[in-house]
Amino acid sequence: MDWAGWLISTVSRALAFGVPLLWGTLGEIYAERAGVVNLGVEGMMILGAFTAFAVSQSAGRPGLGLLCAALVAGFAALLHAFITVTLRANQYVSGLALSLFGLGLAGLLGRGWEGKPLRNPMPTLTVPGLSRIPVLGPMFFQDQTALTYIGIVLALVLWVLLFRTRFGVVIRSVGESPATADALGINVGLVRYLCVVFGGLLAGVGGGYLSVAYRPSWTEGMTAGMGWIVIALTIFASWDPLQAVFGAFFFGALYHLSYRLQAFLAPELLKLMPYLFAIVVLAVSGFGRARWRRRAPAALGVPYVRGER
């Protein structure tokens, strides 16, 4: 086997596998920047994956499937927002409940849909011109769906919004010091609702990508813990959309390699690599404590009650 070919296909597949992680992480970054942890990403992604598959298979249009996936996951996130923002319940427990519920419901409804390939999956693109560059062309500009590029552009846009606009200041202040934001006349509850639901929409697209583009079929539990990796990636990326791009594609590469290296090591041991690595990455970033860890939003995980400190 030639090295160049191996490298090209690895990078290209890593990019494709990183897409659901990227979309999920971008959404979770916004939710957490506003001060709400959502551990329900796994549940929202699997609901998105099932919805996208069921709608695409019935309507024959993967775009419509993705839209519905976003809406269903967004609705699930709305539930989380209601419980944590309005009822001020524990964010961790609510997110776990959402994951349990989502995995159960998708498994229940998905029984009859299992094992059939999707009739018309999302088309892959060949970027005109750029795809003919040697090495880089086949690495980055062939065999990707539109969601790869939209995801990267979205990360840029979200970064600008978060760090260069007034809108971003509002979101960040709600996550850092809701009492101050409240005193300045910002509707803390509304901002949190919007950010959590936005996170759900993106997680839904990420899940849907799995079932209509990456592996156009539906199998129960097909998200295989990606939602939890998303939570780790959010921390790893220091709540920064641009760093999320690198983190997502790095873990995409890990996932891909866990299939690729099966000639050398037992497949089961390779499959545990991304999960082990998530811990290692967080542990290593713990060494540079002062510089790395300060960036968690100060009010993350704390329900806001006016007049309480």
Partner 1 sequence: MRRIGPFLLEPRLTPSRPVVFGVSLAAVVAALLVGAIVFWAYGLSPWRAYAAIGRGIFGSWPSFSEVLRRAIPLVLCGVGLTLAFRARFWNIGAEGQLLAGAVAATGVALFLPAPENLRLPLMFLGGFLAGALWGLIPALLRVKLGVNDVISTLMLNYVMVYIVEWLVHGPWKGPTMRGFAYTDAFPLSARLSYLPHTRVHWLTLVVGLVLAGLVSWMLARTRLGYEVRVVGQNPEAARYAGISFIVVLSLVMVLSGGLAGLAGVGEVAGIHGRLRSPAHISMGYGYTAIIVAWLARGSPLAAVFTALLFGLIFAAGDSMKIALGLPFQITGVFNGLILFFLIGFDLLMFWRVRLGPKGKAWIGRVGS
C-alpha triplet 8, 242, 103: angle, nearest 5°: 80
Nearer to partner 1, 13 or 80 (CB): 80
- In the block, tokens 């497949």 appear at 267
- Output the smallest distance, CB 27 to partner 1, in A: 17
Structure-derived torsion over alpha carbons of residues 213, 214, 220, 223, reported in degrees to the nearest 10? -120
- Output the smallest distance, CB 232 to partner 1, in A: 5
Nearer to partner 1, 9 or 90 (CB): 90
- Output the smallest distance, CB 254 to partner 1, in A: 13
- Output the smallest distance, CB 100 to partner 1, in A: 4
- Output the smallest distance, CB 101 to partner 1, in A: 3
Nearer to partner 1, 166 or 289 (CB): 289
Nearer to partner 1, 173 or 223 (CB): 223
Secondary structure of residue 142 in the 3-state scheme: strand
Neighbours of 52 (CB within 10 A): 34
- Output the smallest distance, CB 308 to partner 1, in A: 11
Cα-only R_g, the chain: 19
Binding site for partner 1 (CB under 8 A): 39, 43, 79, 83, 87-90, 92-94, 96-105, 107-108, 111, 220, 225, 228, 231-232, 235, 266, 268-269, 271-272, 275-276, 278-279, 282-283, 286-287, 289, 293
Cβ neighbors of 46 (< 8 A, separation 6 or more) are 102, 103, 106, 207, 221, 222, 223, 227
Closest CA to 189 of 178, 176, 173: 178
Q: E strand or H helix at 143, and its extent?
A: strand 142-144
Q: Which two tokens stand for residue 199?
A: 């996170």
Nearer to partner 1, 154 or 299 (CB): 299
Nearer to partner 1, 61 or 260 (CB): 260
Cβ neighbors of 148 (< 8 A, separation 6 or more) are 15, 16, 19
Nearer to partner 1, 5 or 225 (CB): 225
67 in Cβ contact with 180 (< 8 Å): no
- Output the smallest distance, CB 80 to partner 1, in A: 9
